[in-house]
A and B are shown apart, each in its own frame.
Chain A
Amino acid sequence: MITQILFIIILAAAVYLFSKNAAKVRRNILLGRPADRSDNPALRWKTMAKIALGQTKMVKRPFAAVMHFFIYVGFIIINLEVMEIMIDGIFGSHRIFAKPLGSLYGLLIGGFEILALLVLTACVVFLCRRNIAHLKRFSGAEMTKWPKSDANYILIIEILLMTAFLTMNAADHKLQLLNFGHYVKAGSFPVSSFLDPLLPNSAAALEMIERGCWWFHIIGILAFLNYLPYSKHFHILLAFPNTYYSNLHLKGEFTNMASVTGEVKAMLDPSFVPEITAEPQRFGAKDVTDLTWKNLMEAYTCTECGRCTSVCPANITGKLLSPRKIMMDTRDRITEVGNNIDKHGKDYSDDKTLLDNYITREELWACTTCNACVDACPVNINPLEIITEMRRYVVMEESQAPASLNNMFGNMENNGAPWKYSPADRLNWVKES
């Protein structure tokens, strides 16, 4: 009884804490400007099914895709097992599904064990890849300190959880063979039975191990749940809404700023009266709150995999720009803004901004707007949009474009071409041949 109460308290606390932190992330995301992504739900569901559920963008790197797939399927399916653990925990039962499911139960447990082994293998491989093989993709300038340990923590936790799960099953298995207590004969243990010889033979010790692993496993899962909002691992949840709200337009199409259209129309035609918007907005983005909620959701969805950066022509040729860093900076900044609101209230300003304090102008101006990063992202994140918004701020609010670009603007304004040629010469190509 006491263990049941303890279990319920822990479970309730974990769920409460998680929902509180998740709500905070949601609040932070909604600090962004509005963006309408409600059109064409059929295509949106399809996109989500393909990209988040079907993992279609992962296949570009087949090895990582297979390993990731193990972990992904393992995560989803082992949740069934977690359900049983929850019920057992609350009601003080043991393997409650064993009886009603009969031989199917054995099959299920066997399946979970094989998945657990695959997850375990994939995590070990990923750990080696990150720490021994030293892939360039995982060692960018932005991948030091927290981001680096975050990735390792996730893998290690998953390894521990899977090990606990298998050890628990092995102990259970042995207890079953001993006809001990309430350990009903249930389940087939194709993986964990190999661990049997490693475990002690005394029933008391086995029971301790079984209970110990059971608690470790479930508390670990609940703790991991609460780790998510602080980690890139949050992508396991956000990948779904994030792909649902994907940009459905062609990648070449940039938004036309409606606020500018009004002003330009008024300039061309004095009789035109632009709609008055509630409050004058900044052109482009100086800080995270100038970005849309979708940009911010993407920042929380980024898994720091670096696929964007590894195809970025600017990054490949040694320039300061890394699209992954753009996303990580955006997340770090919006988290900071959120924390400020929690601590000091809504109107507090810390005199910091995304521009300059996080992302430098040198990074912004190195982008060729080639869309390679957008195409490469396995969860449909668009770092280019943030770069463009920040360029807009720098150019239109600050007039701080690089001098050569200002020349280009001047030429375009005066001659209708980015170069210093007279519009009268536009047809010269006809003559020379």
Chain B
Amino acid sequence: MAEMAAEGKQPEILFWVGCAGSFDERAQRITRAICKILNHVGISFAVLGTEESCTGDPAKRAGNEFLFQMQAMANIQVLDAYQIKKIVTGCPHCFNTIKNEYPGLGGNYEVIHHSQLIQQLIDEGKLKAEGGESFKGKKITYHDPCYLGRGNNVYEAPRKALEILDADLVEMKRCKSNGLCCGAGGAQMFKEPEKGIKDINLERMTDILESQATVVAAACPFCMTMLRDGVKHENKEQEIEVLDIAEITVRANGL
């Protein structure tokens, strides 16, 4: 972004990569997939790069409102300095926080999650799911991230990206507003779970196995980690692939 600004240019959209998308190796692949899509359809975009900082979501959910607001205000300063209007995020947590909680602190932007961007592009005919890998006949199931689904009522956008695949979209027993958490939200990602009889992502595995899907579509880097751990735990890495909506779109379009 700094470079673009130096050249006096303003991107159409700012891509908010998020901490997971920046640092987590698996999530970096999602980040690159989103960039490929943006490049493919010719949207000019920028990232904040080293100027991006955590949105503060995990701090807020853990109860550290101070830290959250410090992060939020610093981020709002940077975004406003670059006169950002429109943001696409690669993570439902960033999406929720910037979209819903930043306005109260003075940060007003149009924020969409990357699955919504993909839906728009499909609706506009810019993404067709042609020319790449065919998912025809494959069983795909979609795991609703809490902060996209229940948190913001975004249920259809990610499904749209799967529906055009000609694949067999199967819903899990617990889906949409009744979806089961992957176990990572509310800062659980950063601590050991409390003791219980099993971990939440393993409970979620029972739904996945029951759906008999061979591809599990995710739309959140945290869900990605938890679902993959679950698949690993069940020794199903050969049979079940966990992919982000963006990665599936990239593959289907041969990007």
State A367–B187 Cα separation when bound (angstroms). 9
State A264–B188 Cα separation when bound (angstroms). 26
Asked whether, in the complex, the Cβ of B194 is within 8 Å of the Cβ of A366, the reply is: yes
Check A256 for interface membership: any CB of B closer than 8 A.
yes
State A368–B183 Cα separation when bound (angstroms). 6
Check A165 for interface membership: any CB of B closer than 8 A.
no
Please, which residues of chain A bring their CB within 8 A of the CB of B67? 409, 412-413
Please, which residues of chain A bring their CB within 8 A of the CB of B70? 264, 267-268, 413
Asked whether, in the complex, the Cβ of A319 is within 8 Å of the Cβ of B56, the reply is: no
Asked whether, in the complex, the Cβ of A368 is within 8 Å of the Cβ of B65, the reply is: no
Asked whether, in the complex, the Cβ of A396 is within 8 Å of the Cβ of B65, the reply is: yes
Check B192 for interface membership: any CB of A closer than 8 A.
yes
Check B83 for interface membership: any CB of A closer than 8 A.
no
Q: Quick one: given A311-B178, A388-B61, are A251 and B196 in contact (CB under 8 Å)?
A: no
Asked whether, in the complex, the Cβ of A375 is within 8 Å of the Cβ of B60, the reply is: no
Asked whether, in the complex, the Cβ of B69 is within 8 Å of the Cβ of A261, the reply is: yes
State A252–B180 Cα separation when bound (angstroms). 15
B-contacting residues, A390-433, CB 8 Å: 390-396, 401-402, 404-405, 407-409, 412-413, 416-419, 421, 423-429, 432-433
**One of B47-55, B135-143, B161-169, B233-241 contacting the partner:** B47-55
Please, which residues of chain B bring their CB within 8 A of the CB of A256? 65, 69, 101, 104-105
Asked whether, in the complex, the Cβ of B197 is within 8 Å of the Cβ of A318, the reply is: yes
Check A343 for interface membership: any CB of B closer than 8 A.
no
Chain B residue with Cβ nearest A253: B100
What is the total of A-B residue contacts with beta carbons within 8 Å?
208
**One of B20-28, B120-128, B209-217, B246-254 contacting the partner:** B20-28
Check A194 for interface membership: any CB of B closer than 8 A.
no
Asked whether, in the complex, the Cβ of B64 is within 8 Å of the Cβ of A409, the reply is: yes
Check A263 for interface membership: any CB of B closer than 8 A.
yes
Q: Give min CB distance, B185 to chain A, whole Å.
A: 4
Chain A residue with Cβ nearest B96: A252
Check B191 for interface membership: any CB of A closer than 8 A.
yes
Q: Give min CB distance, A404 to chain B, whole Å.
A: 4
**Number of B interface residues, CB 8 Å?**
67
A-contacting residues, B195-218, CB 8 Å: 195-200, 202-203
Asked whether, in the complex, the Cβ of B32 is within 8 Å of the Cβ of A402, the reply is: no
Q: Give min CB distance, B203 to chain A, whole Å.
A: 5
Please, which residues of chain B bring their CB within 8 A of the CB of A392? 63-65
Please, which residues of chain A bring their CB within 8 A of the CB of B64? 392, 395-396, 401, 409
Asked whether, in the complex, the Cβ of B59 is within 8 Å of the Cβ of A251, the reply is: no
State A370–B66 Cα separation when bound (angstroms). 22
Q: CB within 8 A of B194: which of A251, A321, A426?
A: A321
Contact with A along B211-235 (1 / 0, CB 8 A): 0000000000000000000000000
Asked whether, in the complex, the Cβ of A254 is within 8 Å of the Cβ of B101, the reply is: yes
Asked whether, in the complex, the Cβ of A429 is within 8 Å of the Cβ of B22, the reply is: yes
Q: CB within 8 A of A250: which of B22, B153, B180?
A: B153
Asked whether, in the complex, the Cβ of B50 is within 8 Å of the Cβ of A317, the reply is: no
Check A265 for interface membership: any CB of B closer than 8 A.
yes
Interface majority SS on A: helix, strand, loop or mixed? Answer: helix
Chain B residue with Cβ nearest A249: B100
**Number of A interface residues, CB 8 Å?**
69
Q: CB within 8 A of A319: which of B147, B177, B191, B194?
A: B194
State A267–B60 Cα separation when bound (angstroms). 18
State A312–B73 Cα separation when bound (angstroms). 33
Chain A residue with Cβ nearest B179: A372
Contact with B along A57-99 (1 / 0, CB 8 A): 0001000000000000000000000000000000000000000
Chain A residue with Cβ nearest B184: A368
Asked whether, in the complex, the Cβ of B49 is within 8 Å of the Cβ of A316, the reply is: no
Q: CB within 8 A of B59: which of A268, A320, A367, A412?
A: A412
Check B152 for interface membership: any CB of A closer than 8 A.
yes
State A405–B73 Cα separation when bound (angstroms). 21
Please, which residues of chain A bring their CB within 8 A of the CB of B19? 417-419
Please, which residues of chain B bring their CB within 8 A of the CB of A362? 194
Check A383 for interface membership: any CB of B closer than 8 A.
no
Check B181 for interface membership: any CB of A closer than 8 A.
yes
Please, which residues of chain A bring their CB within 8 A of the CB of B192? 404
Check A170 for interface membership: any CB of B closer than 8 A.
no
Check B62 for interface membership: any CB of A closer than 8 A.
yes
Q: Quick one: given A316-B203, A370-B146, A433-B32, are A395 and B63 in contact (CB under 8 Å)?
A: yes
Asked whether, in the complex, the Cβ of B69 is within 8 Å of the Cβ of A264, the reply is: yes
Asked whether, in the complex, the Cβ of A375 is within 8 Å of the Cβ of B100, the reply is: no
Check B193 for interface membership: any CB of A closer than 8 A.
yes
Q: Quick one: given A371-B151, A404-B191, are A254 and B60 in contact (CB under 8 Å)?
A: yes
27 residue pairs A–B, Cβ–Cβ below 8 Å: A250-B96, A250-B100, A250-B151, A251-B151, A253-B100, A254-B101, A257-B69, A261-B69, A313-B180, A313-B200, A319-B195, A320-B196, A366-B193, A370-B181, A372-B178, A372-B179, A393-B63, A395-B63, A408-B190, A413-B70, A417-B54, A424-B50, A427-B47, A428-B28, A429-B21, A429-B28, A429-B31
Known: A374-B150, A423-B53. 17 other contacts (CB 8 A): A252-B150, A257-B65, A311-B180, A314-B194, A316-B180, A316-B203, A319-B196, A368-B200, A369-B186, A370-B150, A371-B150, A372-B178, A375-B150, A392-B65, A412-B71, A426-B50, A427-B47
